[in-house]
Structure 1
Amino acid sequence: MSAKGWCLGIAVCTGVWLVQSGARDVTPPVPSAAEAFAAGPREHTDAAADPLPPAAPLRLRIPDIEVDTPLTGLGLDRKRSLEVPPAEYRNLAGWYRDGTPPGARGTAVVAGHVDNAGGPAVFYALGALRKGHRIEVLRADGRTAVFTIDAIEVYEAGDFPDRRVYGARDRAELRVITCGGGFDKKSGYRGNVVAFAHLIGVRTTTATTGGTANAGPGE
């Protein structure tokens, strides 16, 4: 998929709120240098859990930034760039349905808008996350895949590292992507914010009680 093309596609339908409102100081959080891979991992990195069988994701939750969003399937457009969720649905993210489902072996990709004409959207605060924060993906098989964040990085559109972000992995990994990297009123957002995460545990909904049985960390 074309990362640069995907970013340009998002920039066309986001940033409208900033332009219309004249907002200059109200911009999405930018990841600090301490949260990048170059700064090194946390002192205690959570061990990777065994990958799950493939299953469609239904919802994504990031408690530390109060994200709780349904997930829609995304394909590729005519230019072989990743589609984006409809701009009018502020609290909606999408996953690349022809790729790896979150929790399965490989690199799963989730994308969402940072804002729309009405204001901040689902991943507006993505850049405020830190290493060790949790991402939860509720799946159609009744399992919740729990990921820990390894790094948050920001890239200019022309320097987006496709292989680093989208490349295949032997364990279950997740990328959550939105626009960011500065804003220009004429051209929109200049790049992307990317959260890198790996699977550390699973929660399973019990049929009898409606509660959860834990397998691994991630409560």
Structure 2
Amino acid sequence: MRKQGGADSNTRTLRWAAASALIGVFLIYNSVDASSQSSPAVATPTATATASASAYEEPETAEEPPAESLDPTATPESRPGPALPRSPATHLDIPSIGVSAPFTELSLDATGMLVPPPDTDNNLVGWYRGGASPGERGNAVVAGHVDTKIGPAVFYTLSSLKPGGKVSITREDGIIATFLVDRVQTFKKNAFPDQEVYGDTADAQLRLITCGGAYDHAARDYTANVVAFAHLTSFRWA
């Protein structure tokens, strides 16, 4: 429940640390409500899930989506895992935490900051189009507000996502890519692990990012970021 309080004329900002390996060094700012309110629950570090990243679902049509092939002789350490061709994301579904939201594409502004999704829509997520698309080999970055001036937003419950949970992303090419959550972790903003979160990967991975931790009223900012780590496990035609 949101508490009522006096709003500052300036919206407070959420800062996410950013990566040099994937998209260069930049910071993400997310405008949220400046009124006094409870912060969302904070997830604790969890163990990495052990599910395989090489299983494919049978497509609903006779023809499979054009994924890159795997080398059956490769060792688990060197095997790149499944991956799909590039295609923009259109819709995100995380049934276990009640998320069903359309995508908007995100880009960097002239100062190298990632422009967040509009804060006028509480059910909208953003995909950074300068990085890997969801399902493409590499690390796809998806950002969403935890709250805005008008209430809790799309990633308000992200910290409650559990390892083993499924994240499905519908793509513009008609493929639904399904990711398995490996872990959900909260990082203090002054100790954000850029490489761990944003570093390039040999397989198709996903990072879901929002704010977390306590709310610092003096700074008008949250003290941490919640990051869900996931990898592609299967795909099918929508």
* TM-score (ref. length: structure 2): 0.75
- Residue from 187, 210, 226 that aligns with 1:155: 187
- Residue from 87, 90, 103 that aligns with 2:135: 103
Residue identity opposite 2:41 in structure 1: P
Residues 136-175 of structure 1 deviation map (CA, whole Å, 9 limit, x = unaligned): 0000111100000011111111111111111110100000
The answer to whether the 8 A contact 2:17-2:189 is kept is no
Matches within 5 A, 1:75-154: 75-154=107-186
- Cα separation, 2, equivalents of 1:86 and 1:193: 20
Residue identity opposite 1:29 in structure 2: A
Residue identity opposite 1:203 in structure 2: R
Which has the larger Rg?
2
How far is the alpha carbon of 1:78 from its aligned partner? 2.5
- Cα separation, 2, equivalents of 1:60 and 1:130: 17
Residues 27-46 of structure 1 deviation map (CA, whole Å, 9 limit, x = unaligned): 2121123x2xxxx334x423
Aligned residues: 190
- Residue from 30, 48, 58 that aligns with 1:41: 48
How far is the alpha carbon of 1:204 from its aligned partner? 0.9
- Cα separation, 2, equivalents of 1:113 and 1:67: 12
The answer to whether the 8 A contact 1:48-1:171 is kept is no
Aligned to 1:71: 103
The answer to whether the 8 A contact 1:6-1:83 is kept is no
- Cα separation, 1, equivalents of 2:139 and 2:26: 19
2:40 matches 1:28: yes
- Cα separation, 2, equivalents of 1:190 and 1:48: 37
Aligned to 2:32: 14
SS in structure 2 at match of 1:158: helix
Aligned to 1:211: none
- Cα separation, 2, equivalents of 1:182 and 1:79: 28
Matches within 5 A, 1:140-219: 140-187=172-219, 188-205=221-238
- Cα separation, 2, equivalents of 1:69 and 1:14: 18
- Cα separation, 2, equivalents of 1:198 and 1:204: 18
The answer to whether the 8 A contact 1:108-1:174 is kept is yes
SS in structure 2 at match of 1:32: coil
- Cα separation, 2, equivalents of 1:89 and 1:5: 24
- Between Structure 1 and Structure 2, the one with more helix by share is 1
* TM-score (ref. length: structure 1): 0.81
The answer to whether the 8 A contact 1:92-1:112 is kept is yes
Aligned to 1:213: none
Aligned to 1:215: none
The answer to whether the 8 A contact 1:2-1:82 is kept is no
In structure 2, runs of 5+ residues without a counterpart are 1-15, 19-24, 56-81
